[in-house]
Amino acid sequence: MRRSWLLLLMMSLLGLTACIPNEPPRSCDSVTHTALRSLIQETYPVDQARQRVAATFGLREAEISIQPLSEGTPPAVIKTLPLVRGGVLRWTSDGTQYELLLEGSQPVVARATYQSAAPTGDRLMQCLGKPEKYWAYYYPTPSMTRRLTQLNLFFPTSGTACWIQKYGSGDTPARFGPTDTVAACDLAPTGRADDVIPQLLKHLAAPSTTDWIQGQLKEWPGNWEAIAVETRPLP
């Protein structure tokens, strides 16, 4: 369950256009997800989580859905299970769709997916600074004439990973630049910076690729033109 509700490295946003022209740029509090960060830095029982989200985002509790965690349980049965093990909360606010995963009383990872007014890569770095690591991959599907290239930017100090998606064709991956818009950001509780990337990958990538991807991470090259895109098949 935990690995299916958020897939950092798969094509969950195919066809999404995250940016609406002429929207004012988001504030840095919005880009860094200050409100969401406050929720994942605390510990609270899952049955109180909806109330905490509502108070933090100014929503009604009815606007926040929650799905109990269950490994391999059919969706129709999941709704009847208790929330003791944890759950996934989902809500929308300010043009952003949010998901928050709790295991027991511990928030472990969250996602913010932009539905409008997505920040550009340049705006992201204005607010978060330069990424420490990155990984870019050219997916072999859905077709040779329309293939997805995804750039993952890791900011371990702030416990954040953001990603940008573009299409290439044939054997030529898309190129990335500072005006490209961010599709989504994933957040993990901050602690030791060395633990943040493994924590994000543990929950957001398939088990068979987690170690391999971590070994492929590269230092940020200092400019967008120098980004290297991996084209070899995933293991």
Full-model pTM = 0.83
Residues 44-63: tens digit of each pLDDT: 888 899 999 999 999 999 99
Answer yes or no: is pLDDT of 127 > 60.
yes
122 shares a domain with 44: no
224 shares a domain with 134: yes
| Cα–Cα distance list, 131 to 109, 151, 162, 215, 225 (Å) | 19, 12, 9, 17, 15
94 shares a domain with 140: no
| Residue at a domain's end among 80, 110, 140 | 110
122 shares a domain with 104: no
| Residue at a domain's end among 50, 77, 110 | 110
Q: Domain tally for the chain?
A: 2
150 shares a domain with 65: no
In a domain, 12, yes or no: no
Q: Bigger pLDDT: 46 or 225?
A: 225
231 shares a domain with 127: yes
Residues 74-122: tens digit of each pLDDT: 444 334 344 556 889 999 999 999 999 988 888 989 999 999 999 999 9
In a domain, 18, yes or no: no
Both tokens of residue 199?
A: 């924590």
Residue 229: helix, strand or coil by DSSP?
A: coil
Domain of residue 138: give its range.
Answer: 118-235
**Per-residue confidence (pLDDT) for residue 45, from 0 to 100:** 84
In a domain, 44, yes or no: yes
Q: Residue 1 — very low, low, confident or very high, per pLDDT cuts 50/70/90?
A: very low
